[in-house]
Structure 1
Amino acid sequence: MRAIELFAGAGGLGIGIGRAGFRPERIVEWEPNCQRTLLANRRARQCDTKGWPLDIESDVRDADFRAHEGKVELISGGPPCQPFSVGGRHRAHADRRDMFPEAVRAVREAKPRAFIFENVRGLTRERFSSYYEYIKLQMQYPELVAKGDEDWSAHLRRLERHHTGSRADPGLEYSLVAEVLNAADYGVPQKRHRVFFVGFRKDKAIEWSFPEATHSQDALLWDQAHGQYFERHAVSKRERWCNAERMKVRAERMTERPSALPWLTVRDALATLPDPERETAEGSKLSGHRFQPGAKSYPGHTGSPLDDAAKALKAGVHGVPGGENMLARADGSVRYFTVRESARLQTFPDSYRIEGVWSEAMRQLGNAVPVTLAERVARSVAVALETSASTKR
């Protein structure tokens, strides 16, 4: 199935949709370091990038998608999220980095059977509620564009009237579902919340819902209290639960094992990686697995405990990641995650390179979509599209 990938970043969403059976015909990403990452992996014939175009387009505002009308199954991407990020300046529609209008234009011109867009959870905050609704209505009715003298709020009111009124010919219309997903609930060793927008062409009459969560924190706590988690990782009794006594109490109150799989932890994710502070021949062969000195813990930036899913990796306002991109050891000491460790927490394969110096590579990873989460959502969309096509045949 053919796809167009917008705002590709480091490639997490692209890898996920590729594993789900989509093949990107066009990739658009303006940031030079992200472009270098995408091209380096494609030229190295990294297995997940097989079939990706070697020509990475830069500015989505210069791209014309009309030649793809009716020829692609999916448009996907993560429009720049800084206007809505908790770590950003919260300017929303007033921020020039808001690329949602360009995402909607791509849908309007190519008319794909489906789209998948994602963004930070901050977009759903109350202060952005009107603009959040505006984004959703634009996605549902991409042909109802703003007029020359119409600001976004006036356009929103017109979209609302169109949405609630009777329409003999609604034009291009999409059935939209939006939901905040926690990556840890889908097998990612990181508590990362992202809002996903999934739409299907309404004339295709496709029924769909977000995939059910497969993992849970309660299942992890049960495994730690009653299962083999600590024994499997050879964790000493002194070290167990040292970071979260309240979690131990919660676990011991459980009377039966939860049906879900356990959340994956930092320890699970990094178990097979050598310690970056101890130079080894094995470690030197791994791309990006280099120790970065200077980590410090301070209020609000205390790092991720080994025996829990990691806190959400952050990109940093100026490209330098914050203190949450750290490992917090049982003895209270901290160190920065290496690029390779961070890539594992985002479920990128070890064969995938992230180009740039440490701070730049961490910025790319801090903005990325976890591969596993992207694959789970995209695979469910692919199944719905294939089922619809086979039913019609």
Structure 2
Amino acid sequence: MNYVAEINDKLKPTKNSIAIALDLFAGAGGLGLGFEANGFRTTGFEQESDYCLTYKHNLNANCLQVRLNVQTNYPDASIIIGGPPCQPFSVGGKQKGLRDSRDGFPAFISAVQQVKPELFLFENVRGMMYQNKWYLDEIVNELGSLGYIVEYKLFNMVNYGIPQNRKRIIVVGHKGGFEFPRPKNRKVTSGEALGELAMQIPHDAKFLTKSMDEYVARYEKASKCVRPRDLHLDKPSRTLTCRNLAGATGDMMRIRLVDGRRRRLTVREAARLQSFPDWFEFTGSETSQFNQIGNAVPPLFAYYLAASVRDYISNSKSRKSGAEIERLNASKLRPKQLSLFGVP
């Protein structure tokens, strides 16, 4: 199955309900879509109105437009997922950590403390493992104190069939037995992902002007760029971000046509590279749509994460059922054993 057929076939919300997942800082629903395609029922929590509308329009779920904080109340759920925003904590800064009101992690931790889910999971930038490792340790310790085994791993989405070199950290809290998804056997190029879209000229195509081309040339020379930062169709894309999708800068994502002209990516092309299916529609202005895509967890990667969570939930239920059977069997045997000692 080729890439486009795969994302359009796999990434469909289902009517099943293995478990309820609260999707905090939900964005446009990239993470939620992967979970809904695996049979989970999600509820999104997101403060941006465009993002929330996109979520509700495409998923079989509601999205509550709300700014999350430590006082927010939540319904019961088995799973908590999300992408909490993390302020850049520089060494020279105040380094308030979990006491910083600008940060999303106090709200996420409060949700876990309140709901007590069977498992929680969040995604964040790879910088948390490096310059902000002290803060990651603080978060892990706080969540671990709530009775969870907390594990994290750095993933490059390109190893999971996403046509993009995108490194992100995934942190999971569980009660034992969770396994991260294993890499897939093939890598997808941006050319395979875009297909016929790559060489088409949309009616609203935005081409780089002469002055923009000159700026890009100066930018690449100054940054000692060996290979122009155009989208190379024979390899996976570089990381999609809000800045290189929506911003008119030297870092802009762009396609070079056969006639030498370069044009900006369209919303649909960016969505393809981020593994959103073709039926998925974004709301809001073009800039808002680009930001929704750039901020999203690739839904196809979320699908594989959700499959691991689904297996964990299934195995957890089996373990609980086995323990309950043992308890009942023991209770049935107890009167006979006690009667041997003359106890009724």
TM superposition score category, shorter chain reference: 0.7 to 0.9
- 1:19 has 2:59 as partner: no
- Give the corresponding residue for 1:38: 55
Give the one of 305, 315, 318 matched to 1:377.
Answer: 305
Name the amino acid aligned to 1:353. E
- Give the corresponding residue for 1:340: 268
After TM superposition, the structure 1 = structure 2 runs for residues 1-393 of structure 1, keeping only pairs within 5 Å, are 1-24=19-42, 26-39=43-56, 41=57, 46=58, 49-50=59-60, 52-53=61-62, 55-61=63-69, 63-65=72-74, 67-68=75-76, 72-81=77-86, 83=88, 93=97, 96-125=101-130, 127-141=131-145, 172-200=146-174, 202=175, 206-214=176-184, 260-261=185-186, 263-273=187-197, 275-279=199-203, 290-294=204-208, 296=213, 297=216, 298-299=219-220, 302-316=229-243, 320=247, 322=249, 323-328=251-256, 333-393=261-321
Deviation for aligned residue 1:9: 0.6
Aligned CA distance change for structure 1 residues 321 and 365 (closer, same or farther; 3 Å): farther
Aligned residues: 285
Give me the whole-angstrom Cα distance separating, in 1, the residues matched to 2:81 and 2:172.
9
Give me the whole-angstrom Cα distance separating, in 2, the residues matched to 1:378 and 1:310.
24
Name the amino acid aligned to 1:57. Q
Q: SS of 1:327's equivalent?
A: strand
Give me the whole-angstrom Cα distance separating, in 2, the residues matched to 1:29 and 1:58.
6
- Give the corresponding residue for 1:252: none
Deviation for aligned residue 1:209: 2.3
Name the amino acid aligned to 1:15. L
- Give the corresponding residue for 1:155: none
CA contact (8 A) 2:244 2:252 kept: no
Deviation for aligned residue 1:317: 9.6
- Give the corresponding residue for 2:12: none
Give me the whole-angstrom Cα distance separating, in 2, the residues matched to 1:307 and 1:12.
26
Structure 1: which 5+ runs fail to align?
142-171, 215-259, 280-289
Aligned CA distance change for structure 1 residues 134 and 321 (closer, same or farther; 3 Å): farther
Name the amino acid aligned to 2:142. Q
Give me the whole-angstrom Cα distance separating, in 2, the residues matched to 1:208 and 1:195.
16
Percent sequence identity is 33
Give me the whole-angstrom Cα distance separating, in 1, the residues matched to 2:233 and 2:309.
34
Deviation for aligned residue 1:187: 0.6
CA contact (8 A) 2:144 2:150 kept: yes
Name the amino acid aligned to 2:207. P
Q: SS of 2:39's equivalent?
A: coil
- Give the corresponding residue for 2:336: none
Deviation for aligned residue 1:198: 0.9
CA contact (8 A) 1:188 1:373 kept: yes
Q: SS of 2:191's equivalent?
A: helix
Name the amino acid aligned to 2:138. Y
Q: SS of 1:133's equivalent?
A: helix
Structure 2: which 5+ runs fail to align?
1-18, 322-344
String of CA shifts for 1:287-308, please: whole Å, max 9, x gaps.
Answer: xxx4233364332582321111
String of CA shifts for 1:254-293, please: whole Å, max 9, x gaps.
Answer: xxxxxx32x10110001043745254xxxxxxxxxx4233
RMSD of Structure 2 on Structure 1 (CA): 2.8
Name the amino acid aligned to 2:88. P
Give me the whole-angstrom Cα distance separating, in 1, the residues matched to 2:94 and 2:289.
24
* TM-score in terms of structure 2 length: 0.75
Aligned CA distance change for structure 1 residues 33 and 96 (closer, same or farther; 3 Å): farther
Give me the whole-angstrom Cα distance separating, in 2, the residues matched to 1:74 and 1:392.
17
Give me the whole-angstrom Cα distance separating, in 2, the residues matched to 1:186 and 1:10.
21
CA contact (8 A) 1:211 1:377 kept: yes
- Give the corresponding residue for 2:338: none
- Give the corresponding residue for 1:157: none
Give me the whole-angstrom Cα distance separating, in 2, the residues matched to 1:339 and 1:92.
38
Give me the whole-angstrom Cα distance separating, in 2, the residues matched to 1:379 and 1:136.
23
String of CA shifts for 1:143-167, please: whole Å, max 9, x gaps.
Answer: xxxxxxxxxxxxxxxxxxxxxxxxx
CA contact (8 A) 1:6 1:28 kept: yes
Give me the whole-angstrom Cα distance separating, in 1, the residues matched to 2:164 and 2:123.
17
Deviation for aligned residue 1:335: 2.1
* TM-score in terms of structure 1 length: 0.66
Aligned CA distance change for structure 1 residues 276 and 331 (closer, same or farther; 3 Å): closer
CA contact (8 A) 2:245 2:265 kept: no
Name the amino acid aligned to 1:189. P
Name the amino acid aligned to 1:60. L
Give me the whole-angstrom Cα distance separating, in 2, the residues matched to 1:370 and 1:212.
16
